[in-house]
Amino acid sequence: MRIHLVNPNTTRSMTDKIAAAARAVAAPGTDIVAATSSMGPASIEGYYDDALALPGLLAAIAEAEAGGVAGGVDAHVIACFDDTGLDAARALARAPVVGIGEAGFHLASLIAHRFAVVTTLSRSVAVIEANLQRYGLDRRCSGVRASDVAVLELEDPASGARERISAEIGRAIAQDRAEAIVLGCAGMADLARALAREHGVPVIDGVAGAVTLAEALVRVGLATSKAGPYAPPRAKAYAGRLADFAPPGN
């Protein structure tokens, strides 16, 4: 099985870290093919970055499906906790698509009655809360907490990021009755295990979660339903700098 893991920001070191987290949990026989977006923001922090990350993400998915990845891919994972472009990717792709945010929420729901999300900057809280509400899983979430860590600080061991994240986890447990923690950024993938030991509750990394959920879908033989809003894009003209994104006739 081959899983296409797309980092929708353009920072290659982050892709490497995410790919390592993915490979650490993949089943024997699962091949992780990691891609970095070729255009857009270096990190995704808020609505504007989210919007401009979409073309690069969709280009990566289209390329993989068009044979850019030899042998084809069986599933796509979008490695941004905002689940950036998840709906558009599902409409575009033949293979199933899993976002690391939704993956974290779904797995947390299977092992805890109430989970907290600990993310980076406060401006991301609203994005994540809106996703939880759309998925329905806000009912299971005790709160989304920001640790005031910028995404790229996670790449810098001297930034104190880990300590701030750990402190916020402590508050989620003590103040919100959180029983498990979902780490709210792909760049935190390497921290889950140590934070779980430190706090004595399950700590969930969405990257690992999305890879195993993608494996589950492929093994069961499920792909995105095309009978609703995920129908393939209609053929039409696209103008200007994005003309090459025009969907072909189906």
| Binding to its own copies in span 72-111, by CB under 8 A | 85, 87-88, 90-92, 96, 98, 102, 106-107, 109-111
Residues 194-213 that bind its own copies (CB under 8 A): 200-202, 204-205, 208-209, 212-213
Q: Cα separation of 2 and 247, whole Å?
A: 25
Q: Cα separation of 33 and 134, whole Å?
A: 29
Q: What separation in angstroms does the CA of 6 have from each of 57, 80, 127, 178, 225?
A: 7, 9, 20, 30, 21
Q: Are the C-beta atoms of 40 and 50 separated by less than 8 Å? A: no
Instruction: Using the minimum distance from each CB to its own copies, give the nearer residue, 158 or 220.
Output: 220
Instruction: Using the minimum distance from each CB to its own copies, give the nearer residue, 164 or 176.
Output: 176
Q: What would the x/- binding string for its own copies be over residues 111 to 130, using CB under 8 A?
A: xxxx-------xxxxxx--x
Candidate segments 63-71, 156-164, 183-191, 217-225, binder of its own copies by CB under 8 A = 217-225
Q: Are the C-beta atoms of 42 and 228 separated by less than 8 Å? A: no
Tokens 């609203």, residue located: 126
Instruction: Using the minimum distance from each CB to its own copies, give the nearer residue, 33 or 181.
Output: 181
Q: Is 156 in the site for its own copies (CB under 8 A)?
A: no
Tokens 């030899």, residue located: 70
Q: Is 235 in the site for its own copies (CB under 8 A)?
A: no
